[in-house]
Amino acid sequence: YYAVLQMKEVMKLYRECDERTCRLLDKKMDG
Structural domain of 17? 1-31
- Mean pLDDT of the residues in the chain: 75
pLDDT for 22 equals 67
Residue 1 CB contacts under 8 Å (≥ 6 apart), including other chains: none
Cα–Cα dist 4/10, whole Å = 10
Is 17 within 8 Å of 25 (Cβ atoms)? yes
C-alpha triplet 31, 19, 13: angle, nearest 5°: 65
pLDDT digits (tens, 9 = 90+) for 19-30: 777 677 777 766
The answer to pTM > 0.75 is no
pLDDT for 31 equals 55
Name the domain count of the chain.
Answer: 1
Helices marked H in 1-31 — which ranges?
2-15, 19-30
Cα–Cα dist 2/19, whole Å = 26
